[in-house]
Amino acid sequence: MFKGSIVAIVTPFSKGKVDEKKLEELVEFQIKNGSSGIVPCGTTGESATLTFQEHERVIEIIIHKANKRVPVIAGTGSNSTDEAIMLTKQAAQAGADASLQVSPYYNRPTQKGLYEHFKAIANSVDIPIILYNIAGRTGVNIEPETIARLATDCKNIVAVKEASGNLEQMSRIKMLCPPSFQLISGDDGLTLPVLSIGGIGIISVVANIVPKDVADLVSAYELGNIKKAQELHYKLLPLIKAAFIETNPIPVKTAMGLLGMCEPDLRLPMSSMMPENLEKLKKALKDYGLLK
């Protein structure tokens, strides 16, 4: 259902507001350069500081601009189950192809609570649900056994974006879940290793600036050209490292500003980069051939 390089797209701001025209341009840029899906309102899209109205509008704009050329997987998670259901229903009504559901943050539910949370959301809509496991952000890990139970009990929970960084855990997910359940990398630096254990692609941050290379890496692996996939993996690695030198999406949005792709505006508490890290980012962009 989902595969390849799926971009976790930034939300461009201008003078404190969502820059709707620029957002449309970024969607077109992604589709023209091989991205096979778009995730609005994820971590990279600064969903935590969007108002409900902005959240709904960003998803609507991207669905309209994508126009069914690639699937739109709307980030509609929350640490409140009722809020997550509300956002997911809105996205489904707007025409989203799927929903990305982050595990509830801050309140740190038990595995039982996680199961009941995701099941309630899945039962509220007909669109596919992709779980998003990122304990480094949320404070709670969705255990493989919980994912397997959800995949078995909820027909529309079809995949997981795994950003634990733990390949052993990801292998257990593949082992325990039904064969149709999809594993998607949530870490740009682990795209190739995740593909090697049965993953189907990446929900990518760095694809915001180099979508073609990320898409080509996945495509090369799928076509059996492991050498080319490895070459792209190692080409991308220094840029990926620079893209996470500070909390995402600070570096990638800063890079997009340097490259003239959008304003580098961030919403507090996200702030501009430390000068020493900015220089490292500039060097990585220059070494990659993106910045003169």
114-151 residue pLDDT tens: 999 999 999 999 999 999 999 999 999 999 999 999 99
Judged against a pLDDT cut of 90, whether residue 48 lies above it is answered with yes
The residue ranges of every structural domain in the chain are 4-224
The mean predicted confidence, pLDDT, of the chain is 97
Q: What is the pLDDT of residue 190?
A: 98
Over residues 82-94, mean pLDDT: 98
The pLDDT tens digits for 220-276 are: 999 999 999 999 999 999 999 999 999 999 999 999 999 999 999 999 999 999 999
The pLDDT tens digits for 162-208 are: 999 999 999 999 999 999 999 999 999 999 999 999 999 999 999 99
| 161 catalytically annotated | yes
Task: Please tell me the distance from the alpha carbon of residue 150 to that of residue 183, in angstroms, as a whole number.
Answer: 14
Structure tokens belonging to residue 158: 């079809």
Judged against a pLDDT cut of 90, whether residue 1 lies above it is answered with no
Residue 29's φ and ψ, nearest 5 degrees, are -60, -45
| 89 catalytically annotated | no
Q: Which residues contact 148 (CB under 8 A, 6 or more apart)?
A: 173, 176, 177
Residue 158's φ and ψ, nearest 5 degrees, are -115, -10
Q: What is the pLDDT of residue 13?
A: 98
User: 192, 233 in Cβ contact below 8 A?
Assistant: yes
Structure tokens belonging to residue 40: 């609005």
Q: What is the pLDDT of residue 260?
A: 97
Active-site option among 132, 174, 221, 253:
132
State what percent of residues in the chain have pLDDT above 70.
100
Residue 213's φ and ψ, nearest 5 degrees, are -65, -40
Q: For residue 119, how many C-alpha atoms fall within 13 Å in the half-sphere facing its CB?
A: 15
Q: What is the pLDDT of residue 99?
A: 98
Would the pTM count as exceeding 0.85? yes
Confidence of residue 34 (pLDDT cuts 50, 70, 90): very high
Q: What is the pLDDT of residue 226?
A: 98
Q: What is the pLDDT of residue 51?
A: 97
Judged against a pLDDT cut of 90, whether residue 288 lies above it is answered with yes
Structure tokens belonging to residue 233: 């993996």
Q: What is the pLDDT of residue 247?
A: 97
Q: Helix 144-153 to helix 111-124 angle, to the nearest 10 degrees?
A: 30
Active-site option among 22, 65, 161, 174:
161
The CATH number, out of the four listed (3.30.460.30, 3.20.20.70, 1.20.1740.10, 1.10.10.60), of the domain defined by the range 4-224: 3.20.20.70
Residues 15-32 as b/e (b if ≥16 CB within 10 A, e otherwise) read: eeebbeebbbebbebbbe
Residue ranges in the chain assigned as alpha helix (H): 20-32, 52-66, 81-94, 111-124, 135-138, 144-153, 167-176, 191-196, 211-222, 226-243, 250-258, 275-288
Q: What is the pLDDT of residue 117?
A: 98
